[in-house]
Amino acid sequence: QVQLVESGGGLVQAGGSLRLSCAASGSISRINVMGWYRQAPGKQRELVAVMVGGGILNYADSVKGRFTISRDNAKNTVYLQMNSLKPEDTAVYYCKFVDVLAADYWGQGTQVTVSS
């Protein structure tokens, strides 16, 4: 079984920074897509950032210029560097991988709370 293990969430003051990590373990085919989603209470899950193939990047408008997605293919790990955090960034953040067989894998979620 493939598992995605997330880390790096926590409580931070507005204007601060956090770095989330998500590492895949187990038997997994080559990964095509690595992405980060978030879901606040009472809100729909939304795409935050995604990296496709060799490095095509897309970000939600709300995080452009503040968040950066990156990866280490050798470690099957994706990162989300979050700077200039705002209270509205408060949510549970989930990583998602899609492999070349079109199988989806989700992390367990990590809570990010930004205080004002």
69-114 pLDDT, tens digit per residue, is: 999 888 889 999 999 999 999 999 999 999 988 999 999 999 999 9
At residue 50, the pLDDT reads: 97
Q: How many residues does the chain have?
A: 116
The Cα 47–Cα 56 span in angstroms is 15
Q: What is the mean pLDDT of the chain?
A: 94
List, for residues 16-65, the tens digit of each pLDDT value. 999 999 999 877 778 889 999 999 999 999 999 999 986 899 999 999 99
